Amino acid sequence: MRAILDAVDALAPGSVATYGEIADAAGASPRQVGQVLSRHGEEVPWQRVVMASGVPAAHLAERQLALLAAEGVPLCDGGTRVDWGALRHDPRQQELFGALEV
């Protein structure tokens, strides 16, 4: 659990990771990441973790997308998901994988 929370906590403002990326960094499964975030997410910047499609958790979508937009995360499809294409050129995102090493 702590490794998952540490990996999420390492995400810089404006950067985003998938459940799978956090799972890989923490030695867990994507499902475990979701479970830990559902129970302990308020301890870390939970909004920075989305599905590989860029879509947020359905029950938190409005709040999560608003928090991401406030951090400058580019959104697409009418603001309903993260724009991975734009993030690939964002220096904050390029630093992400070094920060995820826990």
**Residue range 59-67: mean pLDDT, rounded:** 96
The two tokens of residue 34 are 């979701």
- Residue 77's domain comprises 2-99
Mean pLDDT of the chain: 90
From start to end of 1-102, where are the E strands?
A: 17-18, 49-50, 75-76, 81-82
pLDDT at 87: 83
Domain count, the chain: 1
- Dihedral in degrees, nearest 10, Cα atoms 62, 75, 13, 97: 120
pTM score: 0.88
Q: What is the share, in percent, of the chain residues with pLDDT greater than 70?
A: 86
Higher pLDDT among residues 86 and 94, named by residue: 86
Q: Say how many CA atoms lie within 13 Å of 79 toward its Cβ.
A: 11
**Residue range 91-96: mean pLDDT, rounded:** 65
* CATH code: domain of residue 11: 1.10.10.10
